[in-house]
Amino acid sequence: MIGTYEPSHMIKKPRKLAAMARPPKQSNASSTKQQLILAAAQQFAQFGFQGASLSKIRETVGVKNSTIMYYFKSKAGLYNAVKQHLEQSLGEFVDSLILNQQSLPVLERFSQFCHSFKDWSTEEQTYTAIIVQEMMNNQLPEIEGDIYKNIGQHYLRLATHLQGSPTDPLWRELNWPVFMINLTFSILVGQALSVGVPVTFNLEETSYQEQQILEVIRTNLLANIKDSQMVLEFLNTTTTNN
């Protein structure tokens, strides 16, 4: 009843609010797995698949060899985990580039791509160096699986995006997938060489038609890409190879 007196020992005290839940910390398992992938990437980038040492990888992270086998089953499994990181990162890069360039003209798209891809390949330098190792040494075609297929699809999406309208008088005749792969690889090689990956690179010969288009780019559109030194070197090499 209202106004009824209750002894103090009968009054129910409000319960204390439960402590606010803290976000869970990253599990030790997940942290260890990521550390192994990073350590493995550094080994694979420097020594290739055959030369990479599982002992060095586990020593870097401070785990037993059985831990590597538990997470990745084999050296090839660890290698594929490293490659999966690269594939996902490249996919995110391409998605972002396409999304942000929809309204830009073709030449501006290309100019921005040159700068953006150079930044991306620098950020992912350790991982991109692995691709260079593979392509120069023809390593591990048997374990590439869907990862390389996905990487190839990212390149094709990027080429289609940069190509623009098929009626464009400058770009319509260019073999974009080949050109994109050459350009991309030239940037990757430049980044890989800066971390001491022992590779040599001979740019694939281009058709006469492509050379003519690249000459137009080099002479008439230099202002659009003059800040990207790697691209200029690529264009100069391409137009003087034959």
Mean predicted confidence (pLDDT) in 118-144 = 73
The pLDDT value recorded for residue 6 is 46
The pLDDT value recorded for residue 33 is 92
d(CA 233, CA 225): 11
Q: What are the distances in angstroms from CA 223 to CA 11, 107, 213, 232? A: 81, 11, 16, 11
Alpha helices in the chain (DSSP H): 28-51, 54-61, 65-72, 75-100, 106-123, 125-137, 145-163, 176-193, 208-220, 222-225, 229-240
Mean predicted confidence (pLDDT) in 36-59 = 91
Mean predicted confidence (pLDDT) in 170-181 = 61
Q: What is the DSSP letter of 174?
A: S
Tracing tokens 């100069």 back to the chain, one arrives at 236
What angle, rounded to 10 degrees, do the helices at 54-61 and 75-100 form?
70
CB atoms inside a 10 Å sphere around CB 94: 20
The pLDDT value recorded for residue 72 is 93
Q: Does residue 234 carry a pLDDT above 90? A: no
- Smallest CA-to-CA distance from 76 within 151, 149, 144 is with 144
The pLDDT value recorded for residue 9 is 46
The pLDDT value recorded for residue 151 is 79
d(CA 190, CA 132): 10
The pLDDT value recorded for residue 127 is 82
Burial grade of 215 (CB within 10 A; 0-12, 13-18, 19 or more):
middle
The pLDDT value recorded for residue 123 is 86
d(CA 66, CA 173): 54
Mean predicted confidence (pLDDT) in 182-202 = 58
The pLDDT value recorded for residue 11 is 41
Q: Does residue 165 carry a pLDDT above 90? A: no
Q: Does residue 208 carry a pLDDT above 60? A: no
- Average pLDDT score, the chain: 69
If one compares 111 and 3, the residue with the highest pLDDT of the two is: 111
Q: With contact defined as beta carbons under 8 Å apart, do 93 and 120 qualify?
A: yes
Q: With contact defined as beta carbons under 8 Å apart, do 233 and 198 qualify?
A: no
The pLDDT value recorded for residue 216 is 47
Q: Does residue 147 carry a pLDDT above 60? A: yes
Mean predicted confidence (pLDDT) in 167-189 = 62
Q: Does residue 197 carry a pLDDT above 90? A: no
Q: Does residue 232 carry a pLDDT above 60? A: no
- Smallest CA-to-CA distance from 170 within 118, 224, 124 is with 224
Q: Does residue 39 carry a pLDDT above 90? A: yes
Mean predicted confidence (pLDDT) in 67-85 = 91
Name the pTM for this structure. Answer: 0.63
